Amino acid sequence: MPAHGHRSGTTPGPHLPKRLSALGILLAAFSLLLTLPAPAADIPARGSAHLGMGVVAHDGQGGTPATGDATQTEGVDVSSHQGNVGWSTLWGSGVKWAYAKATEGTYYTNPYFAQQYNGSYNVGMIRGAYHFATPDTTTGAAQANYFVDNGGGWSRDGRTLPGVLDIEWNPYGASCYGKTQSAMISWISSFLTQYRARTGRDAVIYTATSWWTECTGNYAGFASASPLWIARYATTVGTLPAGWGFYTMWQYTSSGPTVGDHDKFNGALDRVVALANG
């Protein structure tokens, strides 16, 4: 008599243990994926940071200032993201001053800096340079030296603004760069002291009130010397960081004409010249 086959459901087939084993491996792999940190693609490349990089994500964007409320002078800020900038177009639209990113940390210089820094000057603008701070990589003094050595200096020509310390959210990791509030204050102080020693000028501080409050405890001690450049993409600047009774500059949008980042100087053009002259 021919042998009878196994009746369905009575004895496991030879492949079932292997299938269960494979399923277990797949489930374990899926579980591991859920616990892994975000992929590196979510973290921008070092050197790509720029003024206001974290403003929209942290503070939102709520309109632009009404025109004619006060005497303000239009400006722009640029980095490598803008490449070669159409300075004559911006000049024709009424932009009178500009800041270009020079450096970041002690590891990056903007490859478009010369076109941006000299190009704005050549069309008639008052210009300056800024440094994107990374307090988790090197000391404040080291970064001030790197900044001055790579375009962030100052000259008494009536057309060059003092350098800017761009201190804001860390695009590469923890918002406050892993520093306590007191350690952050010390780092900023180190940068400002060295910048003044190298140039004779007090650096401008660019920041957002929410970041400053979180990462320095809303420290008021730099306001007496350093002009404030406030970041707020809204119809008004809102509350300023402690110590500053007024802002000198205001980055009010990242979606302006020709170049996205547009700014207001709190005063007429002669006040911009006054800041340049120190």
Q: Is the pLDDT of residue 29 over 60?
A: no
Residue with more model confidence, 254 or 19: 254
Tokens of 166: 């761009």
Is residue 212 situated within a structural domain? Answer: yes
Long-range own/partner contacts, residues 270-273 (CB < 8 A, 24 or more apart): 271/73, 272/73, 272/75, 272/96, 272/97, 272/126, 272/161, 273/126, 273/158
What DSSP letter does each residue of 54-78 carry, written as one string? THHHHH--B--PPTTSS--EEEEEE
- Do 165 and 201 meet the contact criterion of CB atoms below 8 Å apart? no
Is residue 27 situated within a structural domain? Answer: no
Q: Is the pLDDT of residue 240 over 80?
A: yes
User: Domain of 107: which CATH number?
Assistant: 3.20.20.80
C-alpha closest to that of 163 among 236, 227, 113, 106: 227
Is residue 141 situated within a structural domain? Answer: yes
Q: Is the pLDDT of residue 143 over 60?
A: yes
Is residue 263 situated within a structural domain? Answer: yes
Tokens of 188: 């900023």
* Beta-strand runs (E) in the chain: 73-78, 97-104, 108-109, 126-132, 164-166, 204-207, 228-231, 249-253, 262-265
Per-chain mean pLDDT for the chain: 89
Is residue 123 situated within a structural domain? Answer: yes
> Of all residues in the chain, what percent carry a pLDDT higher than 90?
76
- Can you state the percent helix, strand and coil of the chain, rounding each to 5? 35, 15, 50
Is residue 14 situated within a structural domain? Answer: no
Q: Catalogue the active-site residues.
A: 77, 166, 168
Q: Is the pLDDT of residue 28 over 70?
A: no
- pLDDT bin (cut points 50, 70, 90) of residue 266 is very high
Q: Under the phi-then-psi rule, with left for phi > 0, alpha for psi from -120 to 50, and beta for the rest, what region is 12?
A: beta
> For 151-176, how does the pLDDT look when each residue is reduced to its tens digit (9 = 90+)?
999 999 999 999 999 999 999 999 99
Q: How far is CA 263 from CA 41, 75, 97, 159, 233, in A?
A: 30, 5, 9, 18, 10
Q: What pTM was estimated for this model as a whole?
A: 0.84
* Whole-number Å distance between alpha carbons of 82 and 71: 28
| pLDDT, mean of residues 89-107 | 98
The C-alpha angle with vertex 19 and arms to 17 and 25, in degrees rounded to 5, equals 105
| pLDDT, mean of residues 37-55 | 79
**CA-CA-CA-CA dihedral for 194, 168, 128, 45, to nearest 10:** 100
- pLDDT bin (cut points 50, 70, 90) of residue 15 is low
Tokens of 276: 């340049």
Is residue 11 situated within a structural domain? Answer: no
pLDDT of residue 167: 98
Is residue 247 situated within a structural domain? Answer: yes
230: containing domain? 74-277
Q: Number of structural domains, the chain?
A: 1
